[in-house]
Amino acid sequence: MDDLIGRGAAVTAIVRDDIPFSLLYERKLDSQINIVRGQVEDYALLERTLAEYEVEVVFHLAAQTQVLIANRSPLSTFETNIRGTYMLLEACRRAPLIKSIVVASSDKAYGSTPRLPYDEATPLRGAHPYDVSKSCADLIASSYAHSFRTPLNITRCGNLYGGGDLNFDRIIPGTVRSVYYGQPPVIRSDGTPVRDYFYVRDAVNAYVLLAEKMFNGAPPGEAYNFSNELQISVLELTRRILAIMGREDLNPIVLGGNSGEIQNQWLSARKARELLAWSPLYTIDEALTETIQWYREFFDRKRSCKQAFSLPA
């Protein structure tokens, strides 16, 4: 959103829940954009929003994004991720001003396969609730592009991270929070799952680049993997964070659980590099350093606020 505002775009966001410490309010972005209150599953609201705000470019980022929540609450995950996708795309199909749509899918849409890295020809075979929701949304988007020539392309990114993510069940925010408060980080798995970890600033650059190309007439219906193409285990990532924060004395607590997540996943971004001339701008250590600094400042502000108002920790 910062990037779009900086480019002079008139931004309209559909906001379901108010989250007090989210970037929307932390950076006072709510005073710089149009906000429509509601849910992405609400067709009438989507149709009204696209028409009244004369929307030309759509970034479909709305989703329930947490694997653990999807396992606990598959129905709400399917409602948002699947129903929300086809409702939005149907509203876009009927909106005459729409020129470009970026649908944010995920590497999880591929499911689990022994052939790595995943490229865009890898079949979509989600098995667990979150993975299935992304496979379905991805296929629905593809059907709109191919059947109706809806001007959309699909992004499949690795595990996104960066400042502003307040889902502390995730490995990077959770680890940084633990270390900030002097506690050993907790790893739910045995630490061996391997992932792509993809910095949100690189993702924003990719989304905007793709939207611009679509706006200028690039063909619809393509899917692109975006990744720094660096494979790293959960335990190795945790140790990197400990090193950057200067707390290598804190030994991670490894629970060794199985949460219904895929063991190994990483992507080839060759198609994006060759067809879009895209490449990541950040190394993982640069991105982690920026991310950690954001959380340090965030927790410092929370701590100062509690002290000022005598709130408990």
pLDDT tens digit sequence for 268-294: 999 999 999 999 999 999 999 999 999
What CATH number is attached to the domain comprising 279? 3.40.50.720
Q: Active site includes 43?
A: no
Alpha carbon distance 290, 286 (integer Å): 6
- Look up tokens 């606990």; give the residue: 72
* Stronger pLDDT, 313 or 259, i.e. the higher one: 259
Question: Residue 17 domain-assigned?
Answer: no
Domain tally, the chain: 1
pLDDT in tens, 110-158: 999 889 999 999 999 999 999 999 999 999 999 999 999 999 999 999 9
Quote the pLDDT of residue 312.
40
Q: Of these residues, 110, 118, 130, 224, which one is catalytic?
A: 130
Q: What is the reported pTM? A: 0.91
Question: Residue 247 domain-assigned?
Answer: no
Q: Which residues span the domain enclosing 151?
A: 39-167+196-240+262-283
Alpha carbon distance 266, 230 (integer Å): 8
Question: Residue 181 domain-assigned?
Answer: no
Question: Residue 217 domain-assigned?
Answer: yes
Question: Residue 188 domain-assigned?
Answer: no
For 48-115, the DSSP string reads HHHHHTT--EEEE------HHHHHH-HHHHHIIIIIHHHHHHHHHHT-TT--EEEEE--GGGGB--SS
* Stronger pLDDT, 93 or 262, i.e. the higher one: 93
What's the angle, vertex CA 153, arms to CA 277 and CA 41, rounded to 5? 145
Our measurement of the distance from residue 214's CA atom to the centroid of its chain's CA atoms, rounded to an integer in Å, reads 20
